[in-house]
Each structure stands twice: as C-alpha cells, then as structure tokens.
Amino acid sequence: MSLVKLEYLWLDGYKPTQSLRSKTKIEKDFSGKLEDLPMWSFDGSSTEQAPGGSSDCLLKPVYVVKDPQRKDAYLVMCEVLNADKTPHVSNGRALIEDDDNDFWFGFEQEYFLWDTATNKPLGFPAGGFPAPQGPYYCSVGAYNAFGREIVEEHLDAIIEAGLNVEGINAEVAAGQWEFQIFSKGAKQAGDQIWIARYLLERIGEKYGVAVNWHCKPLGALDWNGSGMHANFSNSLLRTAGSKEIFDKVCEAFRPVVKEHIEVYGADNHLRLTGKHETASIHDFSYGVSDRGASIRIPVGVPANGWKGYLEDRRPNSAADPYKVAARIIKTVKSVS
C-alpha cells in the first residue's frame, strides 16, 4: 500500500477576478487515471461560492497530471458543482461547447514577477524606475533579465508535469515574462493554463516573489501591460482555403465586442488603449500581421493558402481561459 497526495485545484467565486484555491487529499494506491479520482467537497462560504447555512460545494476532477515538486503526488484540476451536481455559476469550464475537441487553442500567458518588499516588478529600484522598456524583451544579462531562476524552475516543472508548453520568453517590460500553452481541445487548454499558473505561484512562494496577473499593474506609465493572447482554430479555419472565410469569421466578432470584452479580464480598458501593441477597447479591427489590431491574422495564413488560425489579442493576463475560449467558440460557431 502506498499513500498518494492529490492536490485538488479549483477557481473561487471572487469578482471580478477569480483566484485559484487548493487543498490536499490523501488516497491509497491511486492509479494515476482521471476516472479513478473521487469527487470531493469544500466550504463554499469561505470562497464566495455559497452561503454559510448551505455551504458545501462539490469538486469534480476533470484533468490530472503528476505533481513535479512533491513526492508521490498529483495535481487535479476540478470544476465546481453545486450540491445537486449542476455547474456552479462560477464554473466557466462548463460553458465551453467543444466536446469533440475541434477547437485548438494556444494561449500566450504574460505576467509580472513582483517584489513583495518594494511592491514593484523585479528589476525596478525601490526609489524609482529602471531604464525605459526596449532592452528587456527576449533579453539576457543581469542588467535586463530579472527572475530567470524562477522562470526556468517553472519551465522545468510544467514540462515534468506533462503540460504542452510551447516556449517562454522575457517580455517588453522589466520583470515581465511569458509562457505559451497549446492544446487540441479548449477545455484542456484552460486546464493546462490554470495548472501552469498554480505551479508558478507555488514556486514564487519559495523565492518570496509574487506573481502579478493584473493587465496593467504599472498604470498609465509608459510600460506595456500583460495579455493572454488567444490563438485559435477549428476545422473551418484550418481548411478554409480562402480569404473570404477568414474575413467572415473575423467579421462575426464585430457585433459581439461587448460580450467578448466582458470575459476578457477586469480593467482591460487600462490596457487596450491603442498603444503598446494593442487596439483600442472602443474599436474592432483585424489584419494580416497587425499586432495593433483586435484580431491578428498571422502572416503564415495567406502564405499557406488561407489555412490556419487567428489570434485574438484582447484577452488580458488575468482572464479566465475557460470563459475566453467559450466566448470565442460561440462566435466562430455562428459562422460555421
């Protein structure tokens, strides 16, 4: 008999931005298979998900990977259900209509490593600011790259966990970094982003460094914000073969801008200003190789005979990938 640590992860009910919660369950001789994971419960009155007089919420395991940093352990991503096993109102994963995994998503997750002592990003002096942004993007060296030991440990951890990470890089602002996750299946893409976020937060604990997911933590100053660009395709886009189909899909986003912005992360008006590689939150645009557009058509799409994917650049770094994917799928399906 062997004892196994199962770390159940879920999203709380805080608004406007949900946070990760987790707790450990000890099981005997776990097989490692999702179907062998039991349902569990938690006190929803402590997470803004239930009243105190009827506080039990259920945790339904939906994705499991090895925990790379604990002995005999697994990370278990869960959906939150009501006591009657219906999806909780906070459960964005349940909104995704992609049971056949026809939709593929690649999320580019940006974030700041945050010095808890100075309340500024790593690399920012306590009494002021570093040199203007420019040299930090994809940088190397102690004058330009800050927190690499955390980022490298995180990369090793998500690879060892079996997440489909596509890469990492230092971003435009000092102390800002990015990782990319891809999955054939919208739900799995969201699962992996949340587990990757969890691992980064936990690694930061060891170094006394926080992770700031806010889309514009430096406010109106001349520093880039953080996004979670959503690269997506379905069979229609992957086999389109014509510019007209891509235009039609992009145009389907125009009348539902409000609905998308509502789930693309809090305070996005601070980030989507038309500056720092963003389109204005008040406009909608798309174009080939245009990082100042709402939706970018990658340059490889026309080169490949108008077959491929699109990048919605509006979701911000704190957005819920489940809700982002659900809204994108709904819009694209209105065309296909």
- Rounded to whole angstroms, what are the CA distances from 251 to 65, 91, 98, 244, 290? 38, 29, 22, 10, 16
| pLDDT tens, residue by residue, 71-123 | 999 999 999 999 999 999 999 999 999 999 999 999 999 999 999 999 999 99
At residue 221, does pLDDT exceed 90? no
| pLDDT tens, residue by residue, 179-197 | 999 999 999 999 999 999 9
> Where residue 336 falls among pLDDT bands split at 50, 70, 90?
low
Give CA–CA dist 135/148, Å, rounded. 15
Cβ-in-10-Å burial (0-12, 13-18, 19+) of 141 comes to: exposed
- Rounded to whole angstroms, what are the CA distances from 240 to 135, 302, 308? 39, 11, 8
At residue 163, does pLDDT exceed 90? yes
Q: Minimal CA–CA distance to 53: which of 62, 43, 61? A: 43
pLDDT given for residue 259 in this prediction: 98
- Rounded to whole angstroms, what are the CA distances from 212 to 56, 112, 225, 267? 30, 5, 11, 14
Phi-psi region of 139 (alpha: psi -120 to 50; beta: other; left: phi over 0): beta
For the ranges 186-200, 269-283, 319-333, which has the lowest average pLDDT?
Answer: 269-283
Q: Which two tokens stand for residue 24?
A: 């450990």
The sheet that has 3-11: what strands, in order across it? 20-28, 3-11, 73-81, 56-66, 40-43
Report the chain's mean pLDDT, rounded to a whole number.
96
pTM over 0.85: yes
Pairing of strands 295-297, 286-288: parallel
- Rounded to whole angstroms, what are the CA distances from 263 to 55, 112, 193, 211, 260? 27, 21, 16, 21, 6
Domains of the chain: 3-91 (3.10.20.70), 104-333 (3.30.590.10)
| pLDDT tens, residue by residue, 33-55 | 999 999 999 999 999 999 988 89
Give CA–CA dist 232/310, Å, rounded. 6
